[in-house]
């Protein structure tokens, strides 16, 4: 059996969400979905808009804003706020256990993802100790990466 591509999966998720909520699949939404997934990195609305307009110059920025909010609702994307200013969007993975945190290079902007079950366990423990019922968390590590092309990469 053929493996569904990440586009196929996301598209299926979108279709289901649309159907369930009486929404429509439009040319713009298809284009934005495809462009977003192809980029395979964290994108700001501005960057995404530029890529989308390379295919269809008539797309308005409000449409990209609205569509990305929709993708977040449909669990196709998630919104991140690593720095002040513009939000970044990243593609959502599969299962229940796709939670991850981020490591961000202050020199070159590279963003790495990681998971650490031991840290998560300790977070639960801290929350319990302080009388909280933990729902979720946000953790970002900032530093500098030592890759050869650091300083040169745009992201």
Partner DNA sequence: ATACTTGCAAATGCTTTGCAAGCAG
Partner DNA sequence: CTGCTTGCAAAGCATTTGCAAGTAT
Task: Return residues touching a second copy (CB under 8 A).
Answer: 81, 84, 103, 105-106, 112, 114, 116, 118-119, 122-123, 126-127, 130-147
Query: Read out DSSP for 50-90?
Result: HHHHHH-TT--HHHHHHHHHHHHHTTSEEEE-SSSSS-EEE
Specify the residue, 146 or 154, whose C-beta has the smaller distance to DNA.
154
The partner in contact with residue 65, picked from a second copy, DNA, none with C-beta cut-offs of 5 to 8 angstroms by kind, is DNA
Q: d(Cα 6, Cα 81) in Å, to the nearest integer?
A: 24
DSSP category for residue 44: E
65 touches DNA (CB under 7 A): yes
Specify the residue, 7 or 132, whose C-beta has the smaller distance to a second copy.
132
117 sits in which H/E element = helix 117-129
Binding mask 7-36 for DNA (x = CB under 7 A): -----------x---xxxxxxxx-------
């Amino acid at each position: 059996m053929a493996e569904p591509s990440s586009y196929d999966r996301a598209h299926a998720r979108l279709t289901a969400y649309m159907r369930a909520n009486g929404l429509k699949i439009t040319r713009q939404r298809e284009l934005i979905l495809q462009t977003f997934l192809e980029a395979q990195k964290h994108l700001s609305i501005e960057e995404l808009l530029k890529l989308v307009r390379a295919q269809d110059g008539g797309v308005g920025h409000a449409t990209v804003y609205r569509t990305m909010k929709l993708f977040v609702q449909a669990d196709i994307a998630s919104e991140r706020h690593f720095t002040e200013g513009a939000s970044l969007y990243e593609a959502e993975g599969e299962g229940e256990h796709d939670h991850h945190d981020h490591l961000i290079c202050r020199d070159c902007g590279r963003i790495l993802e990681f998971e650490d079950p031991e840290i998560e366990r300790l977070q639960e423990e801290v929350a319990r100790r302080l009388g909280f019922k933990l729902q979720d968390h946000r953790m970002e590590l900032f530093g500098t990466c030592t890759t050869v092309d650091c300083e040169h990469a745009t992201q």
